[in-house]
């Protein structure tokens, strides 16, 4: 027994280990020590984090989400599946606090981020860059229009949890340092 999420996929034979690789409903994934990600996320290089964010966002939109649509999974079910997948995979507890498809806005809270917990007090920037990119790509697809994501609060910087704001880029106040630090201008 791994956890309830993965157990149901083991039972239905859609979680597979083939040719030394894991697949969940034909989506390849790895089990990796957090420290490998920390070596990247602890960088205080703003441009580096922006490049990671954009690359993950674009790949999520063009590849990761495409795999679900090929399986006939609707956008709302994609949101539930991706949330459950990341929680079950150890990324922390994801809560969707606000979600308004019409205005293309969402607020997501992440508790117990393994990255932010490990880097608490050791960094000067929010650290959940990978998840921020995944969320931006996921919600861009669900909303049918481009949205960006800013981590407005981060456990690594002393906040109680990590908080992500998603909305169209034009609605962010680009004069604010937190936005300038995270989004390409």
pLDDT by residue, tens only, the chain of 185 residues: 566 766 666 666 667 778 888 787 777 777 788 999 999 999 999 999 999 999 999 999 988 777 766 666 666 677 787 788 788 888 899 999 999 999 999 999 999 999 999 999 999 999 999 999 999 999 998 899 999 999 999 999 999 999 999 999 999 999 999 999 999 98
Q: How is domain 34-182 classified at the CATH fold level?
A: Muramoyl-pentapeptide Carboxypeptidase; domain 2 (3.30.1380)
What confidence score (pLDDT) does residue 90 get? 86
List, as one string, the DSSP characters of the chain: ---HHHHHHHHTT-EEEETTEEEETTEEE----HHHHHHHHT---HHHHHHHHHHHHHHIIIIIHHHHHHTT--HHHHHHHHHHHHHHTTS-EEEEEEEETTTTEEEEEEES-HHHHHTTTT-SS---HHHHHHHHHHHHHHHTS--EEEEEE-GGGT-SSEEEEEE-GGGS-TTSHHHHHHS--
Q: What is the dihedral of CA 49, 173, 110, 9, to 10 degrees?
A: -70
84 touches 68 (CB < 8 A): no
Q: In 10 A of CB 139, how many CB atoms?
A: 28
Q: What is the pTM for the complete model shown?
A: 0.87
What confidence score (pLDDT) does residue 160 get? 97
What confidence score (pLDDT) does residue 146 get? 97
Domain boundaries in the chain? 1-31, 34-182
């Amino acid at each position: 027994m791994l956890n309830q999420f993965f157990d149901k996929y083991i039972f239905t034979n859609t979680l597979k280990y083939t040719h030394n690789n894991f697949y969940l409903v034909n989506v390849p994934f790895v089990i990796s020590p957090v420290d490998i990600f920390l070596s990247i996320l602890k960088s205080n290089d703003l441009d580096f984090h922006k490049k990671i964010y954009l690359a993950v966002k674009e790949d999520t939109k063009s590849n990761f989400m495409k795999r679900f649509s090929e399986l006939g999974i609707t956008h709302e079910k994609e949101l539930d599946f991706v949330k459950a997948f990341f929680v079950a995979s150890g990324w922390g507890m994801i809560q969707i606090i606000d979600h308004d498809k019409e205005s293309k806005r969402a607020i997501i809270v992440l508790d117990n981020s393994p990255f932010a917990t490990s880097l608490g007090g050791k960094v000067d920037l929010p650290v959940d860059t990978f998840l921020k990119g995944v969320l931006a790509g996921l919600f861009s697809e669900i909303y049918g229009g481009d949205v960006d994501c800013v981590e407005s609060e981060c456990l690594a910087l002393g906040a109680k949890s990590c908080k992500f704001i998603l909305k169209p880029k034009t609605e962010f106040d680009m004069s604010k340092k937190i936005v300038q630090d995270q989004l390409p201008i």
